[in-house]
Amino acid sequence: MTPTDRSVPGVRERNRAAVMAAVLAAGRRQLATVGAAALSLRAVARETGMVSSAVYRYVASRDELLTLLITESYDDLGAAVEVAAARHPAGSAARFVGAARAIRSWAVAHPHEYALLYGSPVPGYAAPATTIEAGTRATRVLVEVVGDAARDGTLRPSPTGELVGPLPRRLAPDLARVGEFAGEHLADELVVAVLMAWTQLFGLVSFEVFGQLANSIEQPALLFDAAAATAAASLGLS
Amino acid sequence: MTPTDRSVPGVRERNRAAVMAAVLAAGRRQLATVGAAALSLRAVARETGMVSSAVYRYVASRDELLTLLITESYDDLGAAVEVAAARHPAGSAARFVGAARAIRSWAVAHPHEYALLYGSPVPGYAAPATTIEAGTRATRVLVEVVGDAARDGTLRPSPTGELVGPLPRRLAPDLARVGEFAGEHLADELVVAVLMAWTQLFGLVSFEVFGQLANSIEQPALLFDAAAATAAASLGLS
DNA sequence: TGTACATCAGTGAACGCGCGTTCACTGATGTAC
DNA sequence: TGTACATCAGTGAACGCGCGTTCACTGATGTAC
């Protein structure tokens, strides 16, 4: 119980936190410029003004740095989506569209980070389980909107849900698992509709960010807004 | 006009074609095992049983090899989709679903090639315009089904099309450009619905191939079939 | 408050690696007369 | 049909590069008495 025991962190500890932050920032900058596959510890060291071996005081390996950056990025995206959603009433179509637009905006603003999260896996790197918790935040927001609407009774019968044909039994556990995200029981057909909306919106974002629309769609933002609004309507949101 | 003028290609020419094929095959194998970012000319040379510099007799640079492989892959996918579609009547929902399933099957069977075509761009590589022609084949099949149904008058009013709200004027040129793929005039709302189905199906495939469904969906094939059938119905196909 | 020791951040050199690409060369295939 | 020359495929050595990671070290910060 010395005076400094649990009080203000010492110089060393503060420095450590500051340098760690600088390392992560350099990592993020690397990511933004050259992408995950080309991210190198030596470049991070260079940009932080340290000798390459010094980085190992802060990060055990290149893979660990990647993992930290992935988690950070998922959280950054998740926070952006949650903030956007919070501007609209729970269970509303506007909230769904707001969340969807936040996903797209973030992706367009951070293409390499988006690629790290939702693009081709980085060769030779396997994301540890640590990242999956953070990875669900953005998606959870979309699903919760539908769950909230169902709970509040404001959900109209889903037009898409009605189109879904008879579903195979073996799909039931999967749908139940996804349905839990909603915090409310959802019909299997509705869960499929949610999954379709989810993959549709991310598919469109991926096509835009990865350049697949380059020769056909010049106004991806407008197309995305139309798609998001249509998706919300197709889920029965209003 | 010597006897050998336009007749059988000489030994050299035949060898050249054979070795070129071996180089491409090795490139494809590389792609399948380590992915595009890690593809190296030296590895291709090793696998072909040549010294590294010899590859330069067949390919001007690593980038050129990548371009060749991209074109090949697009064509491979395109051919698979066209064959699958041809098994069903023009303009039918079955044809749409068959084409969609062929896309997924090919992607699952060739994950690295799929990643090369539809995943994150390869760092430092810009695909030349040469590849875009081949790149449209698979997509064209999907759009044509709708165009054929419209021409034959078998297309019911699209349920999704009706949900699409008023579309911004500035989106019109984009929609017209995409609509041309159909070979028949399609209403703007229907084109949006087609784009949504297209991005939905590729989005689902990407999520599966890139591991995004790993912790929630154990039966992606069943989910995909349900999604494809629903998409076809939502376009008014039958 | 002062001293002796332990902890830790950052240095600098080195390891072994694989890469893309160039270049001068040898020897076989093809061509012109 | 035979010879002289040109073309071309493949070799082997070398270039310069950047990478991840290890290791023994110095000097500053922190801790125990």
User: Under 8 Å CB-to-CB from A196, ≥6 apart: which residues?
Assistant: A160, B200, B204, B227, B230, B231
Closest CA to B39 of A52, A123, A64, A167: A123
- Is there contact between A51 and strand C, defined as CB under 7 Å from any strand atom? yes
Which residues in chain A have Cβ-Cβ distances shorter than 8 Å to B203? 199-204, 206
**Cα Rg of chain B (Å, integer):** 21
C-alpha torsion sign, points B125, B131, B132, B136: negative
pLDDT at B222 over 50: yes
User: Under 8 Å CB-to-CB from B168, ≥6 apart: which residues?
Assistant: A219, A222, A226
Closest CA to B235 of B170, B169, B148, B176: B148
- Is there contact between B42 and strand C, defined as CB under 7 Å from any strand atom? yes
Compute the half-sphere exposure of residue A209: CA atoms within 13 Å on the CB side of its CA.
27
* Full pLDDT tens readout for chain A, 238 residues: 333 333 456 788 889 999 999 999 999 999 999 999 999 999 999 999 999 999 999 999 999 999 999 999 999 999 999 999 999 999 999 999 999 999 999 999 999 999 999 999 887 888 888 898 889 999 999 999 999 999 999 999 999 999 998 999 999 999 999 999 999 999 999 999 999 999 999 999 999 999 999 989 999 999 999 999 999 999 999 9
Give the count of Cβ contacts less than 8 A between chain A and B: 167
Q: Which whole number is the average pLDDT over B179-185?
A: 92
Residue nearest to nucleotide C32 (CA to C1'): B2
Burial (0-12, 13-18, 19+ Cβ within 10 Å), B69: buried
Burial (0-12, 13-18, 19+ Cβ within 10 Å), A117: buried
To 10 degrees, what angle do helices A188-209 and A111-118 make? Answer: 140
Taking the C-alpha atoms of residue A145 and residue A147, their distance in angstroms, rounded to an integer, is 5
Taking the C-alpha atoms of residue A113 and residue A115, their distance in angstroms, rounded to an integer, is 5
**Helices of type H across chain A:** 11-34, 41-48, 62-86, 93-109, 111-118, 130-135, 137-152, 159-163, 172-179, 188-209, 220-234
Contact A159 B164 (CB under 8 A): no
Residue A124's pLDDT is: 81
Q: Which whole number is the average pLDDT over B177-195?
A: 95
**Cα Rg of chain A (Å, integer):** 21
- Residue positions counted in chain B: 238
Supply B121's token pair.
């761009």
Which residues in chain B have Cβ-Cβ distances shorter than 8 Å to A227? 192, 195-196, 199
CA angle A23, A25, A30 (to 5 degrees): 95
User: Under 8 Å CB-to-CB from B7, ≥6 apart: which residues?
Assistant: none
pLDDT in tens, A20-48: 999 999 999 999 999 999 999 999 999 99
Residue B124's pLDDT is: 81
pLDDT in tens, B117-162: 999 988 788 888 889 888 999 999 999 999 999 999 999 999 999 9
Give A155's DSSP letter.
P
Which amino acid, one-letter code, is at B138?
A: A
Other CB atoms within 10 A of residue A102 CB = 22
Taking the C-alpha atoms of residue A42 and residue A60, their distance in angstroms, rounded to an integer, is 13
- Is there contact between A18 and strand C, defined as CB under 7 Å from any strand atom? no
Residues 29-68 of A with CB under 7 A from strand D: 39-43, 52-53, 56, 61-63
Supply B127's token pair.
């695909």
Residue A13's pLDDT is: 86
From the CA of B46 to the C1' of D14: give the distance in Å.
19
Average pLDDT, chain B: 93
pLDDT in tens, B41-50: 999 999 999 9
pLDDT in tens, B78-108: 999 999 999 999 999 999 999 999 999 999 9
Measure B11 CA to nearest chain A CA, in Å. Answer: 40
Which residues in chain A have Cβ-Cβ distances shorter than 8 Å to B132? 215
Burial (0-12, 13-18, 19+ Cβ within 10 Å), B167: middle
pLDDT at B6 over 80: no
Residue B205's pLDDT is: 98
Closest CA to B70 of B21, B7, B6, B114: B114
User: Cβ(B59)–Cβ(B65) under 8 Å?
Assistant: yes
Positions of chain C reached by protein Cβ under 7 A? 8-14, 18-24, 29-32
Residue B2's pLDDT is: 35
